[in-house]
């Protein structure tokens, strides 16, 4: 595979899975001590990657779950953020400015803080009440963060008695690192073609629904815009028909991500509409990939993880094709802001 280290990938994603038991133990201890809600509070892409876990809890649990932008919460606070809150702060670098400032505010309140980081010797690596370290870099962080936050959500469901097959689900997730590697291998021959589509337009409408939507938002903002300087319009499939559809015409690129959760029909609605008006609809569907031993239920849960792992292969070809390394920046961590 192009510019890819298989053993490094397996090591990182297996590392995320290995954090599952400790995440479960910490969440159980928090609940036993009377935790009343949970906040997922990140900055930028790391915040987006928490959204599938937030969705799962919102739809399956009566335990209050909140997601907010770190920079806003520092300014406004929240009536629901108290000493009885669990706060999850993800940051790959462990140094994200807005999240570090948030950490100080949350600790003043007395909430229990779980930090998910790639580096322990950092402000967020040292500052959490419970720190979970799994080294990763930009090309491997999506799957790692998706898995860790999914384990947190499943733990809440398990210990509140709101799920009866958690052990089965966790058992299937433990097989995921190798399966994701197999998915990458199976898609490698097609990745260059998808990359050509992305390189062929300077503007893309990117859409998805359900737990695939965060990955669409993430890929548009953090990869195509930040790392490739390609303009995008990420829009949820539910909102596609309330504004964005008027921009669809011949020559306009529409990129659709399809997952396998219950919101798949919303993506199919876009899939049925777009080809009538544009000749540039491209679909990436997780259902096309074999995941032996993974049940339909878990396939629905891991759709954003599968999308992320395939999109990494596309990005690897895209940066070479455009002679634009994914590490190139003009402003991000380059100038003061």
Q: pLDDT digits over 131-186, tens only?
A: 999 999 999 999 999 999 999 999 999 999 999 999 999 999 999 999 999 999 99
Q: How far apart, in Å, are the Cα atoms of 3 and each of 52, 191, 228, 313, 316?
A: 29, 13, 17, 9, 7
Instruction: List CB contacts of 94: < 8 A, sequence separation 6 or more.
Output: 115, 117, 118, 119, 120, 121, 122, 123, 124, 125
Q: Return mean pLDDT, the chain.
A: 98
Alpha helices in 49-175, H assignment, sequence order: 51-60, 70-76, 97-109, 123-127, 141-159, 166-173
337 — pLDDT class (breaks 50, 70, 90): confident
pLDDT of residue 278: 98
Query: Residue 37 above 90 pLDDT?
Result: yes
pLDDT of residue 30: 98
pLDDT of residue 304: 98
Place of tokens 């990129």: 255
| Distance in angstroms (rounded) separating the CA atoms of residues 198 and 142 | 20
Fold of 177-322: Rossmann fold (3.40.50)
Maximum alpha-carbon separation in the chain: 58
Q: Per the confidence metrics, is the pTM higher than 0.95?
A: yes
Query: Residue 70 above 90 pLDDT?
Result: yes
| Cα within 13 Å of Cα(146), Cβ side | 23
Q: Which CATH superfamily is domain 6-163 in?
A: Glucose-6-phosphate isomerase like protein; domain 1 (3.40.50.10490)
Instruction: List CB contacts of 152: < 8 A, sequence separation 6 or more.
Output: 23, 27, 38, 53, 88, 114
Residue 178 has a CB neighbour count (10 Å cut-off) of 12
Query: Quick one: what percent of the chain has pLDDT higher than 70?
Result: 100
The reply to whether 177-322 shares the fold of 6-163 is yes
Looking at the chain, which runs of residues are DSSP E strands? Answer: 37-42, 65-69, 85-91, 112-117, 130-133, 203-208, 231-236, 253-258, 281-285
Span 277-324, pLDDT tens digits: 999 999 999 999 999 999 999 999 999 999 999 999 999 999 999 999
Query: Quick one: what percent of the chain has pLDDT higher than 90?
Result: 99
pLDDT of residue 289: 98
Query: Residue 325 above 90 pLDDT?
Result: yes
Q: What is the mean pLDDT of residues 38-64?
A: 98
Residue 163 has a CB neighbour count (10 Å cut-off) of 19
Closest CA to 182 of 291, 63, 319: 291
328 — pLDDT class (breaks 50, 70, 90): very high
Span 103-145, pLDDT tens digits: 999 999 999 999 999 999 999 999 999 999 999 999 999 999 9
Span 194-238, pLDDT tens digits: 999 999 999 999 999 999 999 999 999 999 999 999 999 999 999
Each domain of the chain, given as residue ranges in start order, spans: 6-163, 177-322
């Amino acid at each position: 595979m192009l510019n890819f280290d298989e053993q490094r990938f397996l090591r990182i994603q297996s590392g995320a899975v290995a954090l599952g038991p400790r995440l479960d133990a910490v969440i159980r201890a928090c609940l036993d001590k009377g935790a009343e809600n949970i906040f997922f509070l990140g900055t930028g892409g790391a915040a987006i990657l928490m959204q599938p876990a937030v969705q799962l809890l919102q739809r399956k649990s009566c335990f209050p779950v909140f997601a907010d932008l770190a920079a806003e919460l520092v300014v406004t606070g929240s009536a629901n953020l108290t000493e009885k809150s669990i706060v999850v702060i993800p940051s790959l670098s462990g140094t994200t400015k807005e999240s570090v400032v948030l950490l100080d505010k949350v600790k003043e309140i007395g909430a229990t803080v779980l930090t998910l980081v790639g580096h322990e010797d950092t402000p967020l690596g040292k500052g959490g009440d419970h720190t979970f370290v799994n080294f990763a870099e930009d090309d491997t962080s999506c799957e790692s963060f998706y898995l860790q936050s999914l384990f947190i959500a499943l733990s809440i469901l398990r210990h509140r008695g709101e799920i009866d097959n958690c052990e089965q689900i966790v058992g299937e997730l433990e097989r995921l690192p190798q399966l994701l590697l197999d998915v990458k291998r199976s898609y490698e021959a097609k990745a260059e073609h998808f990359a050509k589509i992305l390189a062929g337009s300077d503007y893309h409408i990117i859409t998805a629904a359900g737990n695939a939507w965060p990955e669409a938002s993430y890929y548009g903002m953090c990869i195509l815009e930040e790392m490739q300087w390609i303009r995008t319009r990420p829009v949820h499939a539910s909102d596609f028909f309330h504004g964005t559809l008027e921009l669809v015409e011949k020559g306009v690129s529409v990129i659709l991500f399809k997952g396998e959760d219950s919101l798949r029909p919303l993506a199919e609605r876009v899939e049925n509409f777009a080809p009538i008006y544009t000749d540039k609809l491209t679909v990436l569907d997780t259902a096309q990939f074999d995941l032996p031993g993974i049940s339909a239920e878990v396939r629905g849960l891991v759709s954003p993880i599968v999308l992320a792992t395939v999109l990494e292969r596309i990005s690897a070809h895209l940066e070479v094709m455009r002679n634009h390394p994914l590490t190139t920046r003009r402003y991000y961590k380059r100038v003061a802001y």
